[in-house]
Amino acid sequence: MKSVVQIVEVGPRDGLQNEKKVFTLHQKYDLIKRLSLAGLERIEIGAFVSKDWVPQMSDSTELVKKVLAAQASGELPAKIRYSTLAPNLKGMELAVQSGIKEVAIFGASTETFSKKNINCSIAESFVRFRQVMDLAKPNKIKVRGYLSMAFGCPFEGKVDESRVVRLVRAMLKLGVHEVSIGDTIGVATPAQVESLLKKIKKIAPLTRIAMHFHDTRGTALANVLASYRMGIRVFDSSVGGLGGCPYAKNATGNLATEDLMYMLNGMNVKFAGDVSALIDMRSWIQSTVDHELPAKVSKAGLPLKGTL
Amino acid sequence: MKSVVQIVEVGPRDGLQNEKKVFTLHQKYDLIKRLSLAGLERIEIGAFVSKDWVPQMSDSTELVKKVLAAQASGELPAKIRYSTLAPNLKGMELAVQSGIKEVAIFGASTETFSKKNINCSIAESFVRFRQVMDLAKPNKIKVRGYLSMAFGCPFEGKVDESRVVRLVRAMLKLGVHEVSIGDTIGVATPAQVESLLKKIKKIAPLTRIAMHFHDTRGTALANVLASYRMGIRVFDSSVGGLGGCPYAKNATGNLATEDLMYMLNGMNVKFAGDVSALIDMRSWIQSTVDHELPAKVSKAGLPLKGTL
């Protein structure tokens, strides 16, 4: 059965990157294997970025090779689309060498965040993206674009919609297959989501857009609902809600995959993945990250059979 | 400025009733005073129920008298509508004596929950409600009806919509001014909410309906959004998300008032009450209930000015 909504599981990358506890290669592979066997169809598993900046991702080459070998041998399902971040030429060269067939570039909606996060202006970041795209094409690697801080920036506050629309257009023009629009600090409400998507719809089909919500202020699922009704069919989420919010201490970051699945199930929207299998992972992940996970469905459990 | 959405703050009753820590009269009054000065317009402050069953509410008579005296003296704003539960004749007699001008009856959507929670069948509960209504009229007391477990029951599972519609009609026929429909175990998703409200709309104007969501599985604000778009203009919530879920250990219960306000603010929907004042109450409430509150907005804080 084909999915109506695609879930892009970002726990092993976006999630772990924002956890204090650094997973070993073995633990990461274990997480990815569990997610894969839970039926997820797209999983972001690593990042080819500087070891000094993001030590959690320093073993991505080894990890990608292990995952792809396991996929080739049949230990992991063949149909799963694994991906990594490859934000610049150096990262992309490593991505090519690793054998991964999908990568993502990562841009910001505001100059201040771009400078603080990726150490260059937005214009400079697009020069880097161009280099990534140039290497992607001959190697037949699909590239996704992330556009972070699209609704609010911890440094600049409210973000101008027309600027976000321009950046979405610029990313699509680069040749990315999809732009994932991020509410990176979890400030968006449904009205803002709808307002932005109405403007984006004028310059691109919403089938090219994914939404990446954080549940920092409890609005993630309401924003998913609003986006879904506007026509969005790809959502990013993180198992257990892995990964906090670096801009609000102890607050929730990524929307939890279980919570997203629970709502989609209740709305009879088909997707790939088994919510029960993810719930079963809770105690293992918690013992590994060493804190309680924010995901609500795995905390409360599924209701009686027939209620879901 | 008139509210477009009315928030019914249920923290001092529904919230505290489900907290282990029993507040003293002084602490309850303090909570109510803080909520009142935060600008809320409707606050449920107590319950005239058996002390043996609900020891947390045993001082409701004294508390109501204190609150009403403070309101008469100008210590608390005159315009606030305070209310209590008065689920049966005995409770209603106490309510009349206390001087409160708004009460609520509490019914269930399933026979099993009715028996377990209020120790009688649904039909028997309506006999009790009739007695409450008969005493309310000569005393000019407004009565609200709660209909709990309207989307799922911990004992019976999925709840038949036509049964809920029948019970809503029966409550309205009794003469309640409003029926608050409760997703008491937090299982509803937007599609279910819309489906039920479509049916209710056929038998009553939605201005007579309030929605009472629990955020147990993260869907509360998505359900508020769906309800609001259907025409619902009254929502129950609890400051900080006070009150857990008695049917799922350590899970979230009531939707947090701060989270509700944050979303409404972002959607430019007018309501009475200041989200910052509620956020400021967090540490005091936490130290009094002795655990972390689930409200997300007060945990993460408001974003930079201009982002909200």
Half-sphere exposure of A291 (CA within 13 A, CB side): 14
Residue A286 lies in a domain: yes
For residues A303 and B252, give the distance between their C-alpha atoms in angstroms, rounded to a whole number: 14
For residue B137, what are its two tokens? 């009229």
Within a domain: B307: no
- Count of C-beta atoms within a 10 Å radius of residue B258: 31
Identify whether B306 is part of a domain. no
**Residue among B190, B259, B299 minimizing CB distance to A267:** B190
Whole-number Å distance between alpha carbons of B93 and B48? 9
Query: Residue A152's closest CA among A245, A80, A58, A264?
Result: A245
Among candidates A225, A250, A256 on the partner chain, residue whose Cβ is nearest the Cβ of B226: A225
In a domain, A190, yes or no: yes
The distance of B61 to chain A (nearest Cα, Å) reads: 35
CB contact under 8 A, A189 and B220: no
* Under-70 pLDDT residues of chain B: 1, 304-308
- Cα separations (Å) of A238 from A71, A304, B8, B33, B103? 21, 25, 33, 40, 44
Q: Is A153 noted as a catalytic residue in this protein? A: no
Which chain A residue shows the shortest CA-CA distance from B264?
A189
Quote the domain boundaries for residue B21.
6-300
Q: How many CB atoms lie within 10 A of CB A81?
A: 14
Contact between chains at A218 and B297 (C-beta distance less than 8 A): yes
Alpha-carbon distances, residue B166 vs A161, B113, B136, B192, B230 (angstroms): 46, 17, 23, 17, 20
A90, burial (CB in 10 Å: exposed 0-12, middle 13-18, buried 19+):
middle
**In Å, how far is B248's CA from the nearest CA of chain A?**
5
CA dihedral of residues B266, B267, B273, B276 (deg, nearest 10): 0
Hey, what are B292's tokens? 């972390």
For residue A172, being part of any structural domain is answered with yes
CB nearest to B152's CB, from A262, A297, A307: A307
Give me the pLDDT at residue A60, please: 96
**DSSP summary character for residue A5:** S
Angle at the Cα of A16 from the Cα atoms of A157 and A35, rounded to 5 degrees:
120
Contact B296 A216 (CB under 8 A): yes
Spatial contact of B25 and B66, defined as CB atoms under 8 Å apart: yes
pLDDT at position A305, please? 57
> In this structure, are strands A209-213 and A178-183 parallel, antiparallel, or unpaired?
parallel
Tell me the per-residue pLDDT of A167-219, one tens digit each, with 9 for 90 and over.
999 999 999 999 999 999 999 999 999 999 999 999 999 999 999 999 999 99
Q: How far is A248 from chain B (nearest CA, A)?
A: 5
Q: Among residues A262, A266, A237, which one has the least CA distance to residue A252?
A: A237
| Torsion of Cα atoms, B146 then B224 then A215 then A197, to 10° | 170
The token pair that represents A306 in the structure block: 């027939």
What is the distance between the alpha carbons of residues A133 and A176, in angstroms, rounded to a whole number? 8
Distance CA A230, CA A198 (A): 8
Residue A16 falls within a domain, yes or no?
yes
B154: CATH: 3.20.20.70
A64: tokens are 């990608």
Task: Please give chain A's pLDDT, 308 residues, in tens.
Answer: 689 999 999 999 999 999 999 999 999 999 999 999 999 999 999 999 988 888 889 999 999 999 999 999 999 999 999 999 999 999 999 999 999 999 999 999 999 999 998 899 999 999 999 999 999 999 999 999 999 999 999 999 999 999 999 999 999 999 999 999 999 999 999 999 999 999 999 999 999 999 999 999 999 999 999 999 999 999 999 999 999 877 777 788 999 999 999 999 999 999 999 999 999 999 999 999 999 999 999 999 998 655 44
Rounded distance, CA B66 to CA B81, Å? 15
Strand, coil or helix: what is A267? Answer: coil
Instruction: Answer yes or no: do A221 and B218 touch at CB < 8 A.
Output: yes
Distant-in-sequence, close-in-space partners of B277: CB < 8 Å, separation ≥ 6: B34, B37, B38, B39
Domain count, chain A: 1
3-state per-residue secondary structure call for B194-228: HHHHHHHHCCCCHHHEEEEEECCCCCHHHHHHHHH
- Write the DSSP string, chain B: ---SSEEEE-IIIIIHHT-SSPPPHHHHHHHHHHHHHTT-SEEEEEE---TTT-GGGTTHHHHHHHHHHHHHHTSS-TT-EEEEE--SHHHHHHHHHHT-SEEEEEEESSHHHHHHHHSS-HHHHHHHHHHHHHHHTTTT-EEEEEEESSSEETTTEE--HHHHHHHHHHHHHHT-SEEEEEETTS---HHHHHHHHHHHHTTS-GGGEEEEEB-TTS-HHHHHHHHHHHT--EEEEBGGG-SB-TTSTT-B-BPBHHHHHHHHHHTT---SS-HHHHHHHHHHHHHHHTS----SHHHH---STTT-
CB–CB contact A267 B221 (8 Å): no
| Full-model pTM | 0.96
The verdict on residue A307 lying in a domain is no
* B308 in any annotated domain: no
- In the block, residue with structure tokens 């009229």: B137
Which chain A residues have a beta carbon less than 8 Å from that of B268?
191
Q: Which residues of B are less than 8 Å from A306 in CB distance?
A: 157-158
